[in-house]
Amino acid sequence: MAYDLLKGKKGIIFGALNEDSIAWKVAERAHEEGAQFTLTNAPIALRMGTINALAEKTNSEVIPADATSMDDLKALFEKSQEILGGKIDFVLHSIGMSPNVRKNKHYTDTNYDFMHKTFDISAMSFHRVLQTAYQMDAMNEYGSILGLSYIAAQRTFPDYNDMADAKALLESIARSFGYHYGVKNKVRVNTISQSPTPTTAGTGVKGFNQFLNYADKISPLGNASAEDCANYVLSLFSDFTRMVTMQNLYHDGGFSNTGVSLPIMELMPDEIQ
């Protein structure tokens, strides 16, 4: 069902690689809710992915941008404002990549060049996006900029590797930049901490299916899907959340506040071992 929640709003959506991507679902739902936006991804991802089908479906243009390049980001904000005919109301940063994860480097045997890349792509790029928009004065008042995070920023998940550190940095940037952007232009900056979700980035993490099943059994509501996440994202782009900023918001079916659940208890022996 559509509610015209984002009617008249203009946005930029990073990170739609294929139909499984959280950003893909956000673009589909934002279109249904009346938003206009540009889609962007790294040039290499544009060659590998299927973003053109999404662009056609949502009547949007694709602008290539590597989120670690300030020149690309500046051009992206310039072109987006040209195409959309004015300042931007919402930005989704839905970007994550760790060469250590990809190349199966254990956390205790990290490659520091890879680690730099992880932080640059998965966390510093959020600062770069914010700083580009801030310095270009590209956002409307009460605009909303969102990043996607994971609870490994607060709690240890052994195979999440250096992405855990990247997510901690991402969330910290939302707080730090959120202060300055709020004061200057009343722009909101938040992160959503999402349940494990079967996407290209998600399934790249070792043991992903196991911790997806574990999270589903712990969470009173079960895991939140990519579609649910898209709906939550839209609420944070809408005018109904105008005073929410500098937050890390859990969207995880209750996982983050649950100690243990009955389905997990039932897997344990009923005797002290």
Ligand X SMILES: NC(=O)c1ccc[n+]([C@@H]2O[C@H](COP(=O)([O-])OP(=O)(O)OC[C@H]3O[C@@H](n4cnc5c(N)ncnc54)[C@H](O)[C@@H]3O)[C@@H](O)[C@H]2O)c1
Q: Which residues are catalytic?
A: 150, 160
Sign of CA dihedral 235, 137, 23, 255: negative
Q: Nearest to residue 118, comparing CAs of 103, 134, 133?
A: 103
Minimal distance, residue 203 CB to ligand X, in Å: 8
C-alpha span between 37 and 85 (Å, rounded): 11
For β-strands 36-41 and 10-14, DSSP reports them as parallel
Q: Which residues of 47-56 are buried (b: 16+ CB within 10 A; e: fewer)?
A: eebebeebbe
Minimal distance, residue 214 CB to ligand X, in Å: 13
Confirm or reject binding of residue 41 to ligand X (CB under 6 A). Answer: yes
Confirm or reject binding of residue 66 to ligand X (CB under 6 A). Answer: yes
Confirm or reject binding of residue 11 to ligand X (CB under 6 A). Answer: no
Minimal distance, residue 107 CB to ligand X, in Å: 16
CB-wise, 11 or 15, nearer to ligand X?
15
Confirm or reject binding of residue 17 to ligand X (CB under 6 A). Answer: yes
Confirm or reject binding of residue 42 to ligand X (CB under 6 A). Answer: yes
Confirm or reject binding of residue 143 to ligand X (CB under 6 A). Answer: no
Structure-block tokens of residue 183:
């004061």
The one segment of 41-49, 52-60, 134-142, 257-265 that binds ligand X by CB under 6 A:
41-49
User: Rounded to the nearest 5°, which phi and psi values hold at 204?
Assistant: -70, -15
Decide if 232 contacts 251 (C-beta within 8 A). yes
Burial class from Cβ neighbours inside 10 Å (0-12, 13-18, 19+) for residue 154 reads middle
Q: How many CB atoms are closer than 10 A to CB 124?
A: 19
- Contacting residue, 37, 77, 90, 150, with ligand X by CB under 6 A: 150
The one segment of 79-87, 102-110, 200-208, 256-264 that binds ligand X by CB under 6 A:
200-208
Confirm or reject binding of residue 253 to ligand X (CB under 6 A). Answer: no
Confirm or reject binding of residue 36 to ligand X (CB under 6 A). Answer: no
- Contacting residue, 63, 77, 96, 165, with ligand X by CB under 6 A: 96
CB-wise, 140 or 256, nearer to ligand X?
256
180-199 footprint of ligand X as x/- string (CB under 6 A): --------------x-xx-x
Tally the residues of the chain. 273
Confirm or reject binding of residue 118 to ligand X (CB under 6 A). Answer: no
Minimal distance, residue 207 CB to ligand X, in Å: 12
Query: Residue by residue, what is the 3-state secondary structure of 128-157?
Result: HHHHHHHHHCCEEEEEEEEEEECHHHCCCC
Q: Nearest to residue 208, comparing CAs of 230, 223, 220?
A: 223
CB-wise, 41 or 185, nearer to ligand X?
41
The closest residue (CB) to ligand X is 202
Structure-block tokens of residue 215:
């999270």
- Contacting residue, 12, 13, 39, 45, with ligand X by CB under 6 A: 45
- Site for ligand X, rule CB under 6 A: 14-15, 17, 20-23, 41-42, 45, 66-68, 94-97, 121, 148-150, 194, 196-197, 199-202
